[in-house]
A = this chain, B = another copy of it.
Amino acid sequence: MGSHSHSDRRRFLMGGAALAGVVTGAVRSVRGQTPAPEARPRDNLAYGQPSRFDDTIRKTTGRATAISDTALMTPLQDLDGIITPSGLHFLMDHVNGVPDIDPQQHRLLIHGMVDRPLIYTMDELKRLPSVSRIYFLECNANSRPLRGPNGESVQLVHGRTSCSEWTGVLLSILLKECGVQKGASWVVAEGSDANKYTMSIPLGKAMDDILVAYAQNGEPVRPQQGYPVRLVVPGWEAIRSVKWLSRIKVVDQPYMAWHESGNNADTRPDGKGLWFRFELGPKSVITRPSGGQRLPGHGPYEITGLAWTGGGAVRKVEVSTDGGRTYKEAELQQPVHRYAHTRFRIPWKWSGEEVVLQSRCTDERGEVQPTIAEAAKNLRVTPDYFYEADHFNGIQPWKVNRDGSIQNALFL
């Protein structure tokens, strides 16, 4: 597209190296530790707000595990289309508070196995060629609370996924500016939160499609989402998408950091740990009608929901209104973006009888979302296993009772 050729772009990048400061001494410490920075004061004219009648908010589960304690869920049942409003994006980890970072003071260091370690200011990052892409994020622990009081709504079970238009620089552009050395095979990304959140990512993915993102849905990334800059790693568990990004070290092995080891790895039935499962499987869930809602009466409805996959694009979503005996293909909102939430819709007429609604995603690789029984069989576990396991992408059945009430039917 356009008349600027590959060689133009290369020249631009060569010239661009002058933008960032070469590392000469000690790394400047960049961190903020205010536990919860206040939203800036704003009036409703300078920055509009939702209606006082609109109660679409993030809710938290009441479960007392390290993640669920603080995680806040996207209210999927109240949303339409594929964009999640930034104020409603789920939070995957709030344990260490949200750093209160002044973008003028923030720096991103790239070092390790590179020819030219560089430090970027935010202004320098924004002078580089940018891209905008619609990508979903999903926490590895999404869909854990499959039953109990938190299993009642799509928000509390599946609300650890959101989708935004992210803008930033491809990480590959920064790595090329620094010159990755032979033998390098991983990058280790570090955030500037109090705990220095750290994640290892294979170099191949880093050179492919990872974004160093400074904007979300048009405006600067929100503090809770990594202001002023974060990684967005498309299709992979969201714990890899390091927020408040301040350092990337190019290395020759993963670092097995705290967040990627014991804290976020499942234990298999044989006692071994499941480490480095990056990619998310094909998944879908009906968001309306869904658990906790009540149909006012029989007659026509629209069934709608979201599908996504770490395998790229969603190819089809099928909807069953008889508990999985038969399926009909739903309409997919166009265009379908790779690594993005995909909205599906299908008209439905409720007879007033008891029915079970569920959806099934097939992705561009031909991989099909399993039932929980199939998922358990694949791992040689009982379905109960997924109550505490990560990466669960099983089919979610919702039972519509005769009185119109709807409940989670996964363990009925």
A sample of 22 inter-chain contacts (CB < 8 A) reads A2-B329, A2-B331, A15-B299, A18-B300, A39-B48, A47-B88, A48-B88, A48-B89, A48-B224, A50-B219, A51-B227, A53-B102, A53-B104, A54-B219, A54-B220, A80-B215, A81-B166, A81-B215, A82-B165, A83-B218, A129-B302, A130-B302
Q: Is the C-beta of A366 less than 8 angstroms from some C-beta in chain B?
A: no
Interface of A, secondary structure class, is loop
Chain A, residues 71-85, CB within 8 Å of chain B (1/0): the string is 010000011111111
Residues of chain B within 8 A (CB-CB) of A328 are 2-4
Q: Is the C-beta of A52 less than 8 angstroms from some C-beta in chain B?
A: yes
**Given contacts A19-B299, A300-B127, A302-B127, is CB(A50)–CB(B82) below 8 Å?**
no
Residues of chain B within 8 A (CB-CB) of A4 are 328, 331, 346-347
Checking B39, B48, B166 against A225 with a beta-carbon cut-off of 8 angstroms, the contacting residue is: B48
**Given contacts A130-B80, A132-B343, is CB(A86)–CB(B123) below 8 Å?**
no
Known: A2-B346, A53-B101; 8 extra A-B contacts, CB below 8 A, are: A3-B329, A12-B300, A19-B299, A44-B224, A47-B57, A47-B58, A81-B215, A123-B296
Q: Is the C-beta of A46 less than 8 angstroms from some C-beta in chain B?
A: yes
Q: Which residue of B lies closest to A343 (CB)?
A: B132
* Pairwise interchain contact A53-B123, C-beta atoms closer than 8 A: no
Residues of chain B within 8 A (CB-CB) of A48 are 39, 58, 86-89, 222-225
Docked CA distance A292–B78 (Å): 40
* Pairwise interchain contact A132-B81, C-beta atoms closer than 8 A: yes
Residues of chain B within 8 A (CB-CB) of A44 are 36, 38-39, 224
**Given contacts A80-B130, A102-B53, A123-B296, is CB(A219)–CB(B85) below 8 Å?**
yes
Residues of chain B within 8 A (CB-CB) of A16 are 300
Residues of chain B within 8 A (CB-CB) of A214 are 80
Q: Is the C-beta of A24 less than 8 angstroms from some C-beta in chain B?
A: no
CB distance from A215 to the nearest CB of B (A): 4
